[in-house]
Structure 1
Amino acid sequence: MLSLIIFIPLVAALGLLMVSRENVAAIKIVGVGAAGASFALSLWLLFSFDTANPDMQFVQMFHWVPALHINYLLGVDGISLWMVMLTAFLGLIAIMFSFTQKEGLRNFVALMLALE
Structure 2
Amino acid sequence: MQVALKSSRGEEVSNMKFGGEVELISGLDEFHTAISFPGVSVVHFMAPLNPHCSQMAPFLDALCARYPSVNFIKVDVIENPAVAKAENVRMVPTFKIYKNGNRVKEMVCLSHQLLEYSYGF
| TM-score when normalising by structure 2 | 0.27
Which of these two proteins has the greater Rg computed from alpha carbons? 1
More strand by share: 2
